[in-house]
Structure 1
């Protein structure tokens, strides 16, 4: 029989792992979303940017996978149903929009802002080890840089038409 402290420690561990699993899943979704957006884009400069972003989220997923394994847990292997539905929505939206690249960029901004919010919430509500906190803060910083870059790309997207 477990003591109250052992149960509490187990619950804390499960919560931390669950939060990391959630971020892992979101990075799988983001990688697939950027890959889908890259396929929908017409402009080569935008395609290259989106390819880079997909690779960045794949790297984030690998880092999170490593951290989850360091906690003696098995990481999730795929994204969420919500992510699949979001990618389908991007496809529908771009199919009916004459300026596909602008629509793609709008979805990228929306997705990355939501991702940044998830990271901030996870960091604020949990007490991770310094190593895991460092990984998450680094990823959050890079996501915020992406939001800024996507906003600047959106401003020049009109010149790509």
Structure 2
């Protein structure tokens, strides 16, 4: 497959993952209690981060002369539906919300790793994706630390 096509597919996959992340954190905010305002501000920042990432990825797709994705991944939609069902049975407690968020952050890390493992990725895109993956890893670790603190 030609590099331009590979690069466009990878970028669009990462745009969809960031769309999933935005939708996931919006859903998580809905599930929070008043006393979880610290999480709301953190989740709003995670949403902003994904919008920044999406914007940078979209610009690169446009440089390649292609159309950027606007939706979410099928697995992301399935995951959000699963979150809805799970919440009915487990409630909307802080630990459950953080567990769900960590699951989503794990999925984002996996998607970025797969993108970086793809042959034919241009050097400038590899650099952009590596930078975004590093930022997302920090976010993952924040969520994990909060979840671990609640689980004790």
Any residues of structure 2 matched to 1:74-153 within 5 Å, and which? Answer: 74-98=67-91, 100-153=93-146
**TM-score, normalisation: structure 2:** 0.89
Q: Residue 9 of structure 2 corresponds to which residue in structure 1? A: 18
Structure 1 regions of 5+ residues with no counterpart? 1-7
- Structure 1 residue 158 displacement after superposition: 5.9
- Structure 1 residue 121 displacement after superposition: 1.4
Q: Is the 8 A contact 1:90 1:104 kept in 2?
A: no
- Structure 1 residue 53 displacement after superposition: 0.8
Greater relative CO (CA pairs within 8 A, separation 6+): 2
Please tell me whether residue 56 in structure 1 is matched to residue 64 in structure 2.
no
Larger radius of gyration: 1
SS of the residue corresponding to residue 151 of structure 1 reads helix
**TM-score, normalisation: structure 1:** 0.85
1:86-132 CA distances to partner (integer Å, 9 max, x unpaired)?
11211222232146221111111111112111111111123333321
Query: Structure 1 CA distance, aligned partners of 2:126 and 2:151?
Result: 39
Query: Structure 2 CA distance, aligned partners of 1:94 and 1:25?
Result: 24
Please tell me whether residue 32 in structure 1 is matched to residue 8 in structure 2.
no
Q: Aligned residue pairs: how many?
A: 150
1:15-38 CA distances to partner (integer Å, 9 max, x unpaired)?
221111111111111111111111
Structure 2 regions of 5+ residues with no counterpart? none
Q: Runs (4+) of structure 1 moved beyond 4 Å?
A: none
